[in-house]
Structure formats: C-alpha cells, structure tokens
Structure 1
Amino acid sequence: MRSLLRVTIILLVAVLTGCVQQASDGRYNEAVWRGQRESLEQLQHWQLSGKLAIITAQEKGSARLNWQQQGEDYDLILTTIVGTTLLELHKRDNRVTIIDRDGVQHSGEDSDELVYRLTGWPIPIKQLPVWIKGLPGEATFETGDDGRITRLQQGDWQLSYQDYARTRLWLLPTAINLQGPQTRIKLAINEWQINQ
C-alpha cells in the first residue's frame, strides 16, 4: 500500500512539474515574441533580394525579386533569371507607379489592383512590407516554440514561414509560402540588408 502511495505521489509531482514547465515555456515564448515584434516594428529601412515563384489557375511564373523599403515608401523590381526587367513598382506617399516590361508607366493608388491588372497575378503587395519581415499586421497568427511567427491568416491569404536567418540584431524570414485565392506564391529570400 505504501509503495502504491509513493508511486502516486511521484506521478503527481511529475505531472505538476510538467504543467509548471509548460506554463513557464508559454510565458517565455510570449516574451520572446514580444521582443521580436518590437524589434521588427522599429525596422523601417531595409533591402532584400530573392526569388518569387507564383502558380495561379491560368499560369506559372517566376522572377527575381529586389525590394528596397524606406519607411512607408518602397521600390520593388521583378526581373527574369537573365536580368530582363518584368516590372518596376515604386510607392511614394499614397501613389503607386508601375513601369511594365515595355517601359510604359501606369499609376494608381491600389498596388494590388494595379499589379493584378498588368500581370494577372493576385499578389498582396500592400501587406507584404509588414508580412515579409515576419510581422502579422492585422492578421491572426501563430508563433512557434522559439517565439517567432510561423503562420498567419488575413482574409483570403494564409502564410507559412518556413525558415528564418539572423541579420545583425534581427531574425528575418528567408522562406515564406503564401496561399491565396487560386494562387500560391513562394518567396525565397537570399539576402537581407539593413539600412539603419
């Protein structure tokens, strides 16, 4: 009888210790995420290069990607593998200008609509400056055991963050999968440059 009581007490202590450890890990992860989020929100000037692959109901495409962010303004250039410019997108204040592969300039206020009209690709350009850094913006999100964001969802778009790398003081995504309305996008980021 005493041995049964001893085993029961040991099991109870082990279970309670596990619960305390899980609660502690949860608080730790939340603190790590809070620190990561605050750090990323301060990051306003950056540049990245990588590749974009897109699959829609009508076509498949890929491009090299160069993005330079300066506060709220940015320049996004998509090129072919051999370096031919497919599209240049420049945002200044609330105005978006796109220069297509023929050098024709198009302007508007809605970057998503403008890109879709010119390419047929539904890309969430407006949210990307936030999402691409690993921040959720207005989206619902999940974090992993290390406190970094792993998944988010906003409207018709779902993102999964496959990998991160440290660049100076920041942990920044290097592989992101986006799933949207009849669209899949893969972003592979080769290099982050921090300009602040």
Structure 2
Amino acid sequence: MSMPFLKTIPFAVMNRSPLRIFAVFLLALALTACATVAPMHPSPSPVLPTAERNQVISSLKYWRASGEAALSTPKHHENFGFRWEQSPQLQALSIYDPLGRTVARITVDASGAHLETITGEHRQARNLSTLLNMVLHVELPAAELPDWMLGLPGNNSTISDNASGLPEMLRSGPWQVHYLRYAPVGGLTMPQLLQANGPDGIALRMAITRWQMGQSDPS
C-alpha cells in the first residue's frame, strides 16, 4: 500500500464458587506485576470463562503490545511495525519501518493527541483517529483498536467465542475481527494473530509478538 505521508520520511461476581473467585483474585494479583512473555503456542491448561477473563483484562491499567501489521485495500498494501502503550495517563502508538526506525509516534494525554514524525514534523488533533488516518491514509476505528487487541467487546460490538471460550470473532459496525491465534501471557491467554476486515475492502492484520502486562520501566 502506498502511504504518501510515509513517503515523505526515509521509508516512511456474586453467584460464583469460592474456588473460582479465588482463582480470579490470584490471577489479577499476579498481573499487578509486569509479565512479559514471548508468544508461544497456546497452553493446554484450562482458560478462564469469557466473562471472568474480560473482567481481569478490563481491570488492567498498564499494558503494551508490539509486533507487525499489514494494512491493505483493493489497490495497495503496506507492512509496518507497531508498539501500543496504554496507561491511565498516556496512550501511545509508535509506527516503525522495516529497519526498526520510528517513522511516526502518536501520543494521547489530557491535552489531546500529538503526532511527531521522523522528519521532525509535529501535528496536534483532538483524538487519535484523526492523526492515525493522517499517517496511514486509511480510516481505521482507532478508538476501538485497544479492545480489539485485548479481545474485549466494546460498547457497540459483539463477540462470538470458540470452543475454548476465547473470542473467535468480534463484530463492530462494518468491521469483523477474526482471532486466529492465541498465546499465554502472565496467566492469561492473549491474542497473538488477528485480522480485521472493514468497509471498502480494507483489511488490517496484526501479529502481536510481545505482550507486557502491568507497569514496567521503559525499555
């Protein structure tokens, strides 16, 4: 996919059993510390029921996800690396070229959304979506991306589960998100490979190669 913006850059609970409640408590407690795990094949161990999994993941205040993405339309295709950082004070998305250079970084805080590019260009907007569309030149539901990566249903979305009770498909408006692979991370089973298909033939495929759950020092 051709990205004009990037071309300006040098490649650019209360009815539950006490045992289950205790298990959820222990899992939530474990996630208060940073858990960094390289993606592996899904563990054969039983997973939490969907409602309890969602409860634990929704309670996380700090997490990071990084990996590779492919964005395509009927006419264009582009690959890039990404890193998503989430905390109560800051939301940040970094986009990398194949050489690992940060070609764009979008941060969202109390003052709004801010974009900085490898060329030193600065832009500001009211929200993340505006700046992400400016970078990728494709309209993506940026506000929903964190929930998609976590495998959580948003306010206007529905989820169908697979035989293990994990999200298999998420539907949100014209978008369908297919969860193709999972990996164990800090006691949870997290999405590792997903594909979002949207209107006008837009497709976004994300391979999450690293999860960090909980607060940690910058790396």
Distance in 2 of aligned mates of 1:83 and 1:161: 26
Please list every run of at least 4 consecutive aligned residues from structure 1 whose deviation after the TM superposition is greater than 4 angstroms. none
**Alignment partner for residue 32 of structure 1, among 49, 63, 74?**
49
Is 1:148 the equivalent of 2:166?
yes
Is 1:188 the equivalent of 2:210?
no
Is 1:64 the equivalent of 2:81?
yes
| Structure (1 or 2) with the greater strand fraction | 1
How far the C-alpha of 1:86 sits from its partner, in A, is 2.2
Deviation string 1:148-182 (CA, Å, 9 cap, x unpaired) is 11101111211011111111122110001011122
Listed as ranges, the gaps of 5+ residues in structure 1 are 1-28
Pairing of 1:1-196 with structure 2 (within 5 A):
32-71=49-88, 73-93=90-110, 95-138=112-155, 139-182=157-200, 183-196=202-215
TM-score (norm 1): 0.79
How far the C-alpha of 1:94 sits from its partner, in A, is 6.3
Q: Secondary structure at the match of 2:140?
A: coil
CA RMSD of aligned residues (A): 1.9
Kindly indicate whether structure 1 or structure 2 has the higher relative contact order, using CA contacts under 8 Å at least 6 residues apart.
2
Distance in 2 of aligned mates of 1:108 and 1:84: 24
Listed as ranges, the gaps of 5+ residues in structure 2 are 1-45
Contact 2:193/2:205 (<8 A) preserved: yes
Equivalent pairs counted in the alignment come to: 167
- Percent same amino acid at aligned positions? 23
| Structure (1 or 2) with the greater helix fraction | 1
Distance in 2 of aligned mates of 1:94 and 1:126: 17
How far the C-alpha of 1:53 sits from its partner, in A, is 0.5
TM-score (norm 2): 0.71
**Which protein is bigger by CA-based radius of gyration?**
1
